[in-house]
């Protein structure tokens, strides 16, 4: 047993009432709450009956309740009858899920000839991951191991977790200009200039559609110009696609960037890129944590090597991904009626979001503030342009909870609270 004197010599170890118990931990400081999840925690504690949660990006219906897609319920019912085992899947998921993802995204279900060529040439490695965040972390670790560049450029602003994911994996992150809050619009000239000044060979993060948090996407012509800069600077494109389908209601209309990249690879203008994707939003599989990472490679030989290293990386991380969500995805894509039902479910969700967006806009006072940018934005969010002080006032006076950058998750708006919310927003803007 250690004496009191010996215990005092142990650094960063606090004395307890039983001195013989030696502390095994250094002092651990209290971490700040997650900026988004902390909002939900504060919302739950609020006793105001009129409180509104506009923080977390998860869909809610017009009653303010979470849903399960009818197509997903039907797929689960089918699985209940046909599923015979709950065995582990492979380290990078099962081959059928990989095939479904590649056909869905790169072949565009038979509509992208360039994507089909890449698949046929065995130039795409696909791994199931633990949803979108998991796919980002896997590619971050992979790039840290095998990419000579240790820097990634992300749009300013971007999803709050992007910076943490990459810096924790050892990749330094810098911003490129994207949005101008003073005019509530895309800052396209600065975007091009900042990418043109990026370090050659670095990684660049691009949002495929429904840019989070601004909801402002590039046109096809603008994407062509940006991709021209990517080629000139030899940047490695990393595509984050969390909201496929939420721009138009149709998942195939939302991947113009992917089709353009496939074209550039086939033509030899770029050699490789990577894509992180999730079924959390467009199938409502939030808690199932079902996503993927795909890497378009330079050759079939590179594919074999990259796949082997992905397996080596993932094995000590989480060994293999969960299977229930991936089986739902496979079941839906294997059954034409379920597949069409899913497309209909997704379209209805996006239609409601667009209706809510319009209703909120119509109820806002335009006399002292121009709200037109709300109608230009797409996806699950509106980037209001409100200041942090105004957002805090909304929270403290009206129990309206949102991130302090002014991003509102519009799925939290419904017929029961849209008038209250619009009035609160008018109050803080027009005071």
Burial state string for 66-75 with b = 16 or more CB within 10 A and e = fewer than 16:
ebebebbebb
The CA distance from 408 to 147, in Å, is: 36
- The packing angle between helices 388-398 and 418-430, to 10°, is 130
Q: Which of 141, 240, 345, 405 is catalytic?
A: 240
Other C-beta atoms closer than 10 Å to the C-beta of 393 total: 17
Taking CA atoms, 270 is separated from 82, 204, 289, 318, in Å, by: 44, 14, 31, 32
Give Cβ neighbours of residue 73 (< 8 Å, ≥ 6 apart): none
C-beta contacts of 38-43 below 8 A and 24+ residues apart: 39/401, 39/402, 39/403, 40/401, 42/395, 42/401, 43/401
100, 148, 178, 187, 257 from 222: Cα distances, Å = 30, 28, 12, 12, 11
Q: What is the SS3 assignment for 129?
A: strand
Question: Rounded CA gap, 246 and 281, in Å?
Answer: 8
- DSSP β-bridge partners for residue 277: 241, 292
Task: Note whether 423 and 394 are within 8 A (CB).
Answer: no
Q: In degrees rounded to 5, what are phi and psi of residue 20?
A: -75, -15
Distances (CA, A) of 82 to 75, 77, 78: 10, 9, 6
Of the candidates 281, 327, 342, 405, the residue annotated as catalytic is: 281
Establish whether 159 is a catalytic residue: yes
Classify residue 343 by its DSSP letter. Answer: H
Q: Is 365 helix (H, G, I), strand (E, B) or coil?
A: coil
Integer angstrom CA distances of residue 149 from 102, 145, 243: 27, 10, 28
Catalytic residue, candidates 112, 159, 327, 342: 159
**Spatial distance between the Cα atoms of 154 and 45, rounded to a whole number of angstroms:** 34
Q: Which residues are catalytic?
A: 159, 240, 281
């Amino acid at each position: 047993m250690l004496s009191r004197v010996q215990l005092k010599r142990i650094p960063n170890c606090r004395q307890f009432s039983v001195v013989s118990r030696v502390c095994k931990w250094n002092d651990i400081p209290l971490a700040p709450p997650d900026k988004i999840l902390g909002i939900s925690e504060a919302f739950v504690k609020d006793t105001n009956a009129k409180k509104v949660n506009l923080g977390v990006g998860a869909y809610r219906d017009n009653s303010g309740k979470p849903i399960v897609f009818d197509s997903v319920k039907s797929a689960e019912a089918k699985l209940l009858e046909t599923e015979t085992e709950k065995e582990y899947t492979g380290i990078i998921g099962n081959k059928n899920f990989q095939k479904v993802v590649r056909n869905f995204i790169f072949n565009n279900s038979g509509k992208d000839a360039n994507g089909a060529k890449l698949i046929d040439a065995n130039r795409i490695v696909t791994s199931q991951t633990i949803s979108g965040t998991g796919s980002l972390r896997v590619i971050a670790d992979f790039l840290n191991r095998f990419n000579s560049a240790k820097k990634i450029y992300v749009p300013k602003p971007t999803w709050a977790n992007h910076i943490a994911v990459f810096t924790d994996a050892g990749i330094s992150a810098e911003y490129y200009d994207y949005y101008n809050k003073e005019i509530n619009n895309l800052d396209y000239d600065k975007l091009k200039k900042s990418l043109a000044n990026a370090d050659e060979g670095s990684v660049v993060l691009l949002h495929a559609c429904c840019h989070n948090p601004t909801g402002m996407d590039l046109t096809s012509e603008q994407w062509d110009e940006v991709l021209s800069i990517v080629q000139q600077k030899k940047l490695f494109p990393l595509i984050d696609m969390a909201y496929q389908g939420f721009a138009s209601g149709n998942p195939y209309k939302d991947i113009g960037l992917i089709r353009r990249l496939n074209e550039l690879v086939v033509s030899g203008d770029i050699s490789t890129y990577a894509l992180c994707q999730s079924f959390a939003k467009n199938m409502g599989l939030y808690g199932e944590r079902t996503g993927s990472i795909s890497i378009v490679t330079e050759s079939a030989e590179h594919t074999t090597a990259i796949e082997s290293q992905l397996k080596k990386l993932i094995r000590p991380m989480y060994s293999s991904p969960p299977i229930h969500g991936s089986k739902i995805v496979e079941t839906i894509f294997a059954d034409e009626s379920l597949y069409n039902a899913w497309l209909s479910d997704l379209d209805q969700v996006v239609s409601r979001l667009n209706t809510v967006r319009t209703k909120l806009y119509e109820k806002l006072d335009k006399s002292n503030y121009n709200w037109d940018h709300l109608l230009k934005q797409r996806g699950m969010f509106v980037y209001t342009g409100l200041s942090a002080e105004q957002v805090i006032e909304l929270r403290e006076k009206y129990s309206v909870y949102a991130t302090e950058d002014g991003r509102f998750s519009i799925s939290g708006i419904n017929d029961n609270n849209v008038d209250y919310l619009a009035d609160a927003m008018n109050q803080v803007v027009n005071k």
